Structure 1
């Protein structure tokens, strides 16, 4: 599992370390590497190349419709995490999964 942010790499590392979430991730990526913000396809493709992973074998989990749309556009699987005030675009391609928690995602992927 990896993280990808539109924020800076240094800020991401600080946030991951201070939250304790860093132990759950194999890597953390910032758009600083490609100098293009998500949902630009190159941001997702950069991470997939670095992780040696095909889009169809990867899943982006996000609470932002634009992030889901960008990942779907390059052939990734997606999971939309329903958070208060976050909605999908009505005319956009639907995510692979819609979930309310990461526990729900785990249960759906396990079955």
Structure 2
């Protein structure tokens, strides 16, 4: 886990953001990792694409998550380190934030992120500023 994650998650949660995970892997593993870091109470739920029947970046994966939590795409933001995930979520109508953790530039061939941050703590600060 990156060092900024605990403070960033807590800051986003404290600011009133609904936090949900969506993974192509296992929701149970994601839950266990976050609970082990003392962050379990910050998340509303943990989802994986098994319920969607499609892997991200297929639109059905994001639609499944939105249906599950009862949120319209226009009020949801996907935060990811993966440009392909940012691209897919943007195409599905969500706003997006790319966490740039390496010096590798964002691929020009993909739909750009609406926001860019160096980590979750940085994103929480940027969102608080508007």
Q: What is the TM-score normalised by the length of structure 2?
A: 0.78
Residue among 76, 80, 83 paired with 1:58: 76
Corresponding residue for residue 68 of structure 1: 86
- The separation in 2 between residues aligned to 1:20 and 1:38, in whole angstroms, is 27
Local SS of the residue matching 1:7: coil
Relative to structure 1, the CA distance from residue 87 to residue 3 in structure 2 (aligned partners, 3 Å threshold; closer, same or farther) is: farther
Q: How many residues align?
A: 111
Query: What value does the CA root-mean-square deviation take over the aligned residues?
Result: 1.5
Q: What is the TM-score normalised by the length of structure 1?
A: 0.90
Give structure 2 stretches of 5+ with no counterpart: 1-18
Q: Which runs of 4+ in 1 moved over 6 A?
A: none
Corresponding residue for residue 7 of structure 2: none
Question: Which structure carries more relative contact order (alpha carbon 8 Å, separation 6+)?
Answer: 2
8 Å CA contact 1:64, 1:87 repeated in 2: no
Give structure 1 stretches of 5+ with no counterpart: none
Relative to structure 1, the CA distance from residue 98 to residue 17 in structure 2 (aligned partners, 3 Å threshold; closer, same or farther) is: same
